[in-house]
Structure 1
């Protein structure tokens, strides 16, 4: 069994490769994505302020991680990142966030399992087809035959990206970092 809820002590932090430098100020494209609640969500059409956190893949305790996962900087930590947004959900709402979403290239079925297991109070969105990744030129990596989005978080207001947190490390502090930015009155 893999303990996906804990981060190993020897993880190498990711470096800023500039892969998200173009995103702040960008308007989201109209790209409906399947959500774990069974709906299609078009982030470009949602009113108010949103938080979208992006993660490579939520691991399962009963399945092995891809070969080399822990050695790739920034790959490990999706469950702690998701749990941090779960644990800070009420605080983010109190700071004016209308909705929180998680995004990965996993299928809606894989994400549904994670959302239920982790008791997430918000939907996860699937970009398994790569439509949003290509439209926004989101940074990604390939490992063990799979394509994964690099970890980041975005604050989006009325369909426009206001702030990008990239790279994210450690992932379990991502939600607190977003909350701190919002608390500063931004």
Structure 2
């Protein structure tokens, strides 16, 4: 399945670090920055999460909610949030069903080994639930600022 700009975002319901089941429908009427990342506590993922943390208030100012998704279990998400003071939800996609729905579960290669994992990607979903922007194979440096600029220029 592929996600296309202008189409309704694939719906999902996943456990969140706050102990609740969270669905995309919970955020209708808000802009959503849905970002998929490979693994808690790794250097690139930590930098990205902390960049979102540092810009959290600016996203709130443009009526946008940040949601992170990885295959890590809730317990690991909770440690990650506590360690870095993350003010947004992290969802546990342990069976990678949501990652597959957004077409970010990919064959990866690292040091000659092949394995399936998350391709770092971000989707902006507007207040009506439509995908309006996507970034795939995200490079962490400058990405959060780029996503924030997109929302400021196109969704307010």
Q: Name the TM tier (shorter chain).
A: 0.7 to 0.9
User: What is the distance in 1 between the residues matched to 2:57 and 2:51?
Assistant: 11
Task: Tell me the CA shift for residue 45 of structure 1.
Answer: 4.4
2:120 corresponds to: 151
Aligned residues, how many?
A: 150
Structure 2 unmatched ranges of 5 or more: none
Instruction: Please list, as runs of the form range in 1=range in 2, the aligned pairs for 1:136-175 lying within 5 A after superposition.
Output: 136-142=102-108, 147-157=116-126, 158-169=128-139, 171-175=140-144
Higher-Rg structure is 1
Decide whether the 8 Å contact of 2:107 with 2:114 is kept in 1.
Answer: no
Structure 1 unmatched ranges of 5 or more: 1-18, 61-75
Correspondence 1:88 to 2:55: yes
- Taking structure 1 as reference, are residues 182 and 28 closer, same or farther at Cα in structure 2, changes over 3 Å only? closer
Task: Tell me the CA shift for residue 107 of structure 1.
Answer: 1.0
Root mean square deviation of aligned Cα: 2.3
User: Per residue, is there more strand in 1 or in 2?
Assistant: 2
1:55 corresponds to: 37
SS of residue in 2 equivalent to 1:77 = helix
2:98 corresponds to: 132
Q: What is the TM-score of this pair, normalised by structure 1? A: 0.71
User: Per residue, is there more helix in 1 or in 2?
Assistant: 2
User: What is the distance in 1 between the residues matched to 2:149 and 2:11?
Assistant: 29
- Taking structure 1 as reference, are residues 30 and 165 closer, same or farther at Cα in structure 2, changes over 3 Å only? closer
Q: Which runs of 4+ in 1 moved over 6 A?
A: none
